[in-house]
Amino acid sequence: MSGVGQSLPHESAEGHATGRASFIDDIPRRQDELLVGLVTSPVACARLVRVESTAARAIPGVIAILTAQDIPGATHFGPLVQDEPILALDTVRYIGQPVAIIAAESATALQAARAMVQLEFDTIAPPVLSIEEAIAANRFLTEPHVIARGNVEAALAKAPIVRRGVFQCLGQEHLYFETQAAVAMPGDDGQIQLHVSTQGPSETQHVVAETLGKPLNHVICTTRRLGGGFGGKETQANLTAACAALVTQHTGRAARLVYERGEDMRNTGKRHPFRVEWEAGVDASGRIQGLRVLLFSDGGAYTDLSPSVMDRAMLHIDNAYFLEHVYIEGRVCETHHAPATAFRGFGGPQGIATMETIVQELTLALREIPNAPRHALALQQQNLYGRGERNSTPYGQIVAENHLPEIMSMLVQESDFDTRFDAIEAHNRTDSRWLRGMAVSPVKFGISFVATFMNQANAQVLVYPDGSVQVSTGGTEMGQGLNTKIRQLVSGVFGIDPAAIAMMATSTDKNHNTSPTAASASTDLNGAAAVQAATTVRDRLARWALQQWAPGTDAPTSRVSFAHGLLFDHEYPERRIPFADACAAARFARVDLGARGFYATPGLHFDRSTGRGAPFLYYTQGAAVAEVCIDRFTGMVRVPRVDLRIDIGQSINPGIDRGQIIGGFVQGLGWVTTECLMYDPNGAVLTDSFCTYKVPLASDVPPHFSCHFHETDGPAHTVARSKAVGEPPLMLAVSVFSAVRHALGCVSPAAAQRLCLPATPEEVLRALSLAHVPFSHDDAMRWQHSASIWQGTSA
Ligand code: MTE
Ligand code: HPA
Ligand code: MOS
């Protein structure tokens, strides 16, 4: 009955389906409420000379127009480096950058004012829009950062086969259903009450307080649920929230700022594009001898989370493989795009896709060696982390509880890999229209925030005299099922029906100093804190009950069991009382029925300067086999079959976890195949609608999709022995990209080598059309994704 381990429906499933679940823009409008809109920069790189708003201010219904000069507190913000202006001061650095805030009484007035505000610029220089241009212009947001082990020079010099290449991937638009949204209201005594679609209410509170020049206790940020975040609201909800709060501060009225879809797609940051220059050596048995990688990401115009995303990419470049001699260097480029930000996987996908590409390139290289392994799978198995040996990562953390070897072999079996692989290669020799490919990708994803201090959470549990319970944590519900899982965990502690537990809105006046809900760790963190708080109340109830049954006893509270909605003494099972009755009586007896829990992940340490430590509590591991079918005439990629196997420990809610796995995989499928961000030569996002930005549809979900939970005991030290599931499945979709490369490799090595990520039809067609033109390392250094090369006319 407690529900842990059961597939309870998502707490808002019905609300989501019926439309009754309330999001930010569903909050009823107050009578004094103002609509807020932003005036953003139409140019990517210029000096801002003047904002002319006199005419706009005169429009009836326009209440305020604010610029950087109207900010009473800090003018800049940022999670790591406070280098991003809330409103542009003297320069603009990307198209869509906020310059002025308009507050109006109606949408018509807002629109009219927007058209009237005039921005005057001095154009400084043409924008830098790619990693390659940024490198050439020496524009970086960070210094190079290194993680290294062994002697790569020597290892590469000795290796019988050495290959060099460049891996490139583009960004990804979050496309959460609910766009960035915030409502600010004046509170009591100079306070501000915010309702924000944010993954990090505490960070939103901080940014708003600093912008307004208020102490933290004067800003309350509340979040009931998000219509998706996917990392896009880890830091980037703060800007819109601060703009709404500024209006409330200036006018004393409620203020609502909700981006339209196109605004959201143009103004906000996305997943980081990467360029990785690599050199790898392998021996004839397929063992990797040495690897050197140079990672560059496109961080956009300001720092945001880019150094942390780069760290995670560097910490995942090994993916599932032991690398004895390795040199990893990463650096974030500065360009004139919106600041790139967190996106499901947080650099992990870029690191893992690089490594899988390298494995495939080495497989192609080994074709020249007699008796060498012919399939990528053989290379993968040859290099997988071992058990008890070959199990330390480049940064020195031991891959404990390594299930990858058996996950891989079971998956190969259950997907009938060998037979299908041979059939596919045979097919490709004869069919002139349909090209097929198949690949397996393992994934090992480190769980915990790389920044150790962020691995903490608190929770509050309130028990009422009728036996009903309210739980609040600092975690935010964005569709991933966090609240449902916490409800199950708490119901397990009290032995009551999960329906008796209400999950309350996340709010900084109940749960403060929290980390954003991110890094897939929020059940691990908030769930543990909630269990701790509930256990405190349970112990008090147990002590009270024992005194009722045996006054003066010093029996341990563990003698009282909580199950089936009852408290009972398991030495004298006739001593029992319904949970609700116990709560009512204990309250009358002045027992405290509320508690707070706190959890900090134990044992983590990572020294960024030496690149060594154990930053992760554990790894979520899995693997996927993908089969693709490519139309050689159009370049279109279809995915008829996926088989995957993932170790998520003991699942708290298998139904929700299955949803996360399939949803995450399909989101990754979009990143590697169809989602293609395009910019015009001035740096404007061209793909700013569902018409031009192609996310997977329900009809793109592979018709054969088998998803196995790999059965293990789960880690001894996580809540209910569960493992994080939110991000890892996205990276399993790298198998689809590898399968496309495999298919192209059947045509010629050069076709595979030219493929950048995503494998859009244009990209695949280009690779096929140049299949018989050899591709040298020099070519690779200059090569760019087909979408980077704008074919149209300049605006
Ligand atoms: N699932 C849904 N439905 N909506 C989301 O926004 N975000 C993902 C993942 N799954 C997301 C989601 C991301 S980026 C992360 S980090 C995790 O959920 C965060 O939640 P968790 O820690 O509870 O897994
Ligand atoms: N993952 C996700 N979000 C983060 C991290 C991380 O490791 N660090 C800071 N924000
Ligand atoms: Mo997820 S990218 O860690 O919000």
Ligand 1 atom nearest residue 522's Cα: 22
Which residue minimizes the CA distance to atom 8 of ligand 2?
A: 449
Tokens 């880690």 locate to 715
- β-sheet bridge partners, residue 195: 183, 222
Mean of pLDDT over the chain: 97
Which residue minimizes the CA distance to atom 1 of ligand 2?
A: 519
* Ligand number, closest to the Cα atom of 448: 2
Asked which of 80-89, 279-288, 367-376, 431-440 is least confident by mean pLDDT, the reply is 367-376
Express each pLDDT in 308-321 by its tens digit.
999 999 999 999 99
- Quote the percentage of the chain above a pLDDT of 70: 99
Which residue minimizes the CA distance to atom 8 of ligand 1?
A: 230
Express each pLDDT in 53-71 by its tens digit.
999 999 999 999 999 999 9
Tell me what pLDDT residue 795 has.
45
CB 94 within 8 A of CB 683: yes
Ligand 2 and 313: CB distance under 6 A = no
- The architecture (CATH level 2) of 456-600 comes to 2-Layer Sandwich (3.30)
Mean pLDDT over 545-565 rounds to 97
Which residue minimizes the CA distance to atom 2 of ligand 2?
A: 519
Tell me what pLDDT residue 3 has.
81
Express each pLDDT in 393-403 by its tens digit.
999 999 999 99
Show the CA angle centred on residue 253, arms to residues 251 and 259, nearest 5°. 95
> In the chain, where does the domain assigned CATH 3.30.365.10 lie?
274-450+608-791, 456-600
DSSP string, 14-37: HHHHHT-S--GGGSPPPTT-EEEE
Tell me what pLDDT residue 791 has.
66
> In the chain, where does the domain assigned CATH 3.90.1170.50 lie?
32-126+180-259
Ligand 1 binding pocket (C-beta < 6 A) is 228-231, 344, 478-480, 482, 517-523, 660, 724, 726-727
Which residue minimizes the CA distance to atom 7 of ligand 2?
A: 449
Check pLDDT > 70 for residue 420. Answer: yes
Work out the burial of residue 563: count CB atoms within 10 Å of its CB; fewer than 13 is exposed, 13-18 middle, 19 or more buried.
Answer: middle
CB 694 within 8 A of CB 636: no
- The architecture (CATH level 2) of 274-450+608-791 comes to 2-Layer Sandwich (3.30)
User: 3.40.720.10, 3.40.190.10, 1.20.1250.20, 3.90.1170.50: which CATH number matches 32-126+180-259?
Assistant: 3.90.1170.50
* Ligand number, closest to the Cα atom of 345: 3
- Quote the percentage of the chain above a pLDDT of 90: 98
Express each pLDDT in 102-130 by its tens digit.
999 999 999 999 999 999 999 878 999 99
Ligand 3 atom nearest residue 232's Cα: 4
Ligand 2 and 455: CB distance under 6 A = no
Query: Strand locations in 450-537, DSSP E?
Result: 456-463, 469-473, 501-503, 506-507
How remote is the CA of residue 521 from the centroid of ligand 3, in Å? Answer: 9
Tell me what pLDDT residue 190 has.
95
Ligand 1 atom nearest residue 342's Cα: 14
Tell me what pLDDT residue 679 has.
96
How remote is the CA of residue 16 from the centroid of ligand 2, in Å? Answer: 28
Name 270's Cβ contacts closer than 8 Å, sequence gap at least 6: 171, 172, 173, 174, 232, 337, 338, 340, 341, 343, 677
Query: Strand locations in 255-307, DSSP E?
Result: 255-258, 274-282, 288-298
Check pLDDT > 90 for residue 788. Answer: no
Identify the three-state secondary structure at position 55: helix
Express each pLDDT in 662-681 by its tens digit.
999 999 999 999 999 999 99
How remote is the CA of residue 104 from the centroid of ligand 1, in Å? Answer: 35
Ligand 2 and 309: CB distance under 6 A = no
Tell me what pLDDT residue 125 has.
83
How remote is the CA of residue 705 from the centroid of ligand 3, in Å? Answer: 25
Ligand 2 atom nearest residue 448's Cα: 7
CA distances from 569 to 536, 578, 587 (A): 18, 12, 20
Identify the three-state secondary structure at position 779: helix
> Ligand 2 test: best mutation among 450, 455, 604, most atoms within 8 Å of CB?
450
Identify the three-state secondary structure at position 496: coil
DSSP string, 166-235: EEEE-------SSPSEEEEEE-GGG-EEEEE--S-HHHHHHHHHHHHT--GGGEEEEES--S--TTTTSS
DSSP H or E stretch at residue 495: none
Catalytic positions are 727
pTM: 0.98
Check pLDDT > 60 for residue 1. Answer: no
Cβ atoms within 10 Å, residue 416: 12
Mean pLDDT over 522-534 rounds to 98
How remote is the CA of residue 201 from the centroid of ligand 2, in Å? Answer: 15
Express each pLDDT in 266-282 by its tens digit.
999 999 999 999 999 99
DSSP string, 85-98: ESS-SSEE-STT-E
Tell me what pLDDT residue 792 has.
59
Ligand 3 atom nearest residue 342's Cα: 2
Tell me what pLDDT residue 158 has.
98
